[in-house]
A = this chain, B = another copy of it.
Amino acid sequence: MLVSTHDAGKDNVMTISWTMVMDFSPLFAITTGAWNYSYHALRHHRECVLAIPTVDMLDTVVGIGTCSGLDTDKFSRFALTRAPARHVAAPLIQDCLANIECKVVDIIEKHDIVVLQGLAAYFDTERKEQRMLHAVGDGTFIVDGRRMDRRKMMAAKLPPGV
């Protein structure tokens, strides 16, 4: 997952492995803290964009995660295409499969958890490559395989319209 932020006239983006969807609210939790340069922007402006990359972007994702916005303009270095968001100053990343504009609803400092609420979501349905990545945590990544459908079996547990 990429997280874009805007601070002091500059856009920045970081890679986050530790993310959680929280129910159908739509709320999200990410684990981050002062060791990430983007944390200051998140904390100060209380907004960001979550951008979901696909398998063809793996080297970009790892590259973004292994340099710092402190000394690098990552949008330029990784030739990312920005688009303006509607509710936040942080940019959408058009190269990604999906973008979610978010506001920070809480920062749980004790556990370095930032709780986000989605304000608007964009999904590029025309994108050919739609397979996402799952960080294993050891420097390897699992690519999405096939999809299995249990919608009928889960109907009672899903909110209407899903």
Contact = CB atoms under 8 A, between A and B. Distances in A.
Given A66-B157, A137-B162, A138-B158, A22 B111 contact: yes
Contact of A22 (B18, B144, B145): B18
A75 B20 CA distance: 27
Nearest to A134: B134
Interface in A140-162: 140-158, 162
> How many copies are assembled?
2
Interface residues of A, number: 53
A113 interface: yes
Interface stretch (A23-31, A76-84, A86-94, A120-128): A23-31
A146 to B, nearest CB: 5
A41 interface: no
Contacts of A24: 137
A42 to B, nearest CB: 16
